[in-house]
Amino acid sequence: MQLLMGMPGVRELTEENRGLAICEHCGAAYAVRILEDGQIHPIGRDTCSCGSDDFRLLE
Ligand SMILES: [Zn+2]
């Protein structure tokens, strides 16, 4: 098992991975959380206002 964070003793994410993503469907931008498994979730909502849950991260 490989620890990507490299912080011994820290088993819980103290800092969430956050970023900006845009909806693939309508292009709306949202602040998002990036989960450990790579899923992208807009903060405070489940889907875009257009109903899409397909987001692309902005760097
Ligand atoms: Zn949208």
Ligand 1 centre distance from Cα of residue 54 (Å) = 8
Question: The whole model's pTM is what?
Answer: 0.67
- The tens place of each residue's pLDDT in the chain, 59 residues long, gives 555 555 565 555 556 789 999 999 999 999 999 988 888 999 999 899 999 999 999 97
Ligand 1 centre distance from Cα of residue 22 (Å) = 8
Domain count, the chain: 1
The residue segments making up the domain with residue 41 are: 17-58
Q: Cα(15)–Cα(31) distance, rounded to whole angstroms?
A: 15
pLDDT computed for residue 6 by the predictor: 59
CA angle 45, 26, 15 (to 5 degrees): 40
8-state DSSP, 8: T
Ligand 1 centre distance from Cα of residue 32 (Å) = 13
pLDDT computed for residue 8 by the predictor: 60
Q: Is residue 22 part of a domain?
A: yes
